Amino acid sequence: MKWSYIIICDKCGYISTEKLSEEKAKDLLHAHVGGPQNCTTGHIKLMKVRT
């Protein structure tokens, strides 16, 4: 069984549409920080999903 990750932001409601490797998910998490909604790492969660 393999695991992938999706990103969910509690502040703006963002949910990533593709399943990512842990490394790519962390890169996207850091890219999402700030932005027009001023999201922080505290708002964003990595959710582990089966692939």
pLDDT in tens, the chain (51 residues): 799 999 999 999 999 999 999 999 999 999 999 988 999 999 999 999 998
For position 22, what pLDDT does the model report?
Answer: 93
Q: Hey, CA dihedral for 27, 13, 10, 49, is it positive or negative?
A: negative
